[in-house]
Amino acid sequence: MNQSLSTQVLAQGQPWIGFDVGLLVDRFWSNTVDGLAYGSIYALVAIGYTLVYGVLKLINFAHSEVFIVGAFAAYFTFTALGFRPGPTLEIPVIEIVVNLLLAGVIAMICSGLLALTLERVAYRPLRRKKAPRLVFLITAVGASFAIQQLILLWRGANPERAIRLLRPETVFEIFGARVTNIQLTVFLASLALMLVADIFINRTRLGRGIRAVAQDPDTATLMGVNRERVIMLTFVVGGVLAGAAALFYIMQIPQGVLYNGGFLLGIKAFTAAVLGGIGNLRGALLGGLVLGIAENYGQSLFGGEWRDIVAFVLLIAILMFRPTGILGESLGKARV
């Protein structure tokens, strides 16, 4: 009874790792479609990591809790609108869209406010005292666990009961792989938000301020850029995108609203940011999509329990040959 899983598997004569090329080939397109949907969520959260790193050279590990607070905000918006766990209700499409938009806006506001609070309460005092970077990192980890434990005390350890506004239905097929309305919505909406974020960083005055501070904060300050305002804006933008990702996440995984539900996804989003090139906005998008697809392929090839391991092995393999990630670090440069 107390034997480890690996011991049990070996005792039963089964290999500890599978290698099923046939299953990978059979599920290739369905894995690709599903991987793009998950990868777009990773990418949205990864933008928060990459923006903060680009401006402050800080890994904000509390960003995963910014994400999960957005998920709780969206969930409780659903309940406030009268939706309850159980079978999906038959309601008009326009009503579903309005309710999802409302939940998304509230999730983005809550996540943005939490990100702003973290910046003002946890990180700004450290900057004023010119604390070492290690202190920032420890503070980020501490803030992450503090928020996580507060949610645990508030809601308990069990996940919230699933609420689904939209029933999964096949929209079309690609080489026999079903593309559902949820997957299509998540992917297209995520791409749209990432395009807006890219335009904001590259084409607007505020975005140029972010890039200027990322490239040379001292010179940017001399040129009249308000560094503290830029840092505050950076946290807010990352938080807002994490809130949107939270809505898409509970559309894809309705039972995923859990006190520590952001931890693994946050680690994967950080992995996506590093994979694409930490500090590179488009790298976050590419890294998220590559990671989402790769972990799905690995799940079919090696077995479901290897899904998460494949993602991190991929990161190590790429960083061995390209330490700056696929696209490199470039938030402060023109090719963001």
Q: What angle do CA 23, 27, 32 make, to 5 degrees?
A: 135
279 closest CA partner among 58, 66, 65, 67: 58
Rounded Cα distance between 179 and 24, Å, is 18
Q: Please, are residues 41 and 249 in contact by the beta-carbon 8 Å criterion?
A: yes
Q: pLDDT digit string (tens) for 108-164?
A: 999 999 999 999 999 999 999 989 989 999 999 999 999 999 999 999 999 999 998
pLDDT at 114: 97
3-class DSSP string for the chain: CCCCHHHHHHHCCCCCCCCCHHHHHHCHHHHHHHHHHHHHHHHHHHHHHHHHHHHHCCCCCCHHHHHHHHHHHHHHHHHHCCCCCCCCCCCCHHHHHHHHHHHHHHHHHHHHHHHHHHHHHHHHHHHHCCCCHHHHHHHHHHHHHHHHHHHHHHHCCCCCCCCCCCCCCEEEEECCEEEEHHHHHHHHHHHHHHHHHHHHHHHCHHHHHHHHHHHCHHHHHHCCCCHHHHHHHHHHHHHHHHHHHHHHHHHHCHHHCCCCHHHHHHHHHHHHHHHHCCCCHHHHHHHHHHHHHHHHHHHHHHCHHHHHHHHHHHHHHHHHHCCCCCCCCCCCCCCC
Q: Which two tokens stand for residue 93?
A: 């499409």
Q: What is the mean pLDDT of the chain?
A: 88
Q: Which two tokens stand for residue 97?
A: 């869209």
170-174 vs 177-180, strand pairing mode? antiparallel
Site of tokens 């329990």:
305
Q: Which two tokens stand for residue 221?
A: 């300050």
Gyration radius from the chain CA atoms: 21
Rounded Cα distance between 116 and 45, Å, is 16
pLDDT at 46: 95
Domains and CATH numbers, the chain: 21-164+176-321 (1.10.3470)
pLDDT in tens, the chain (336 residues): 444 444 444 445 556 666 777 788 888 999 999 999 999 999 999 999 999 998 888 899 999 999 999 999 999 999 999 898 887 778 888 999 999 999 999 999 999 999 999 999 999 999 999 899 899 999 999 999 999 999 999 999 999 999 988 888 889 999 888 999 999 999 999 999 999 999 999 889 888 899 888 888 888 888 888 889 999 999 999 999 999 999 999 999 988 899 999 998 999 999 999 989 888 888 999 999 999 999 999 888 887 778 888 878 888 888 788 888 888 766 655 444
Residue 11 neighbours by CB distance under 10 Å: 9
Q: What is the pTM of this model?
A: 0.90
Residue 261 neighbours by CB distance under 10 Å: 25
Q: pLDDT digit string (tens) for 47-73?
A: 999 999 988 888 999 999 999 999 999
Rounded Cα distance between 258 and 262, Å, is 8
Look at the alpha carbons of 239, 244, 249, 254 in this order and tell me if their dihedral is positive or negative.
Answer: positive
Rounded Cα distance between 108 and 244, Å, is 6
pLDDT at 300: 85
pLDDT at 318: 81
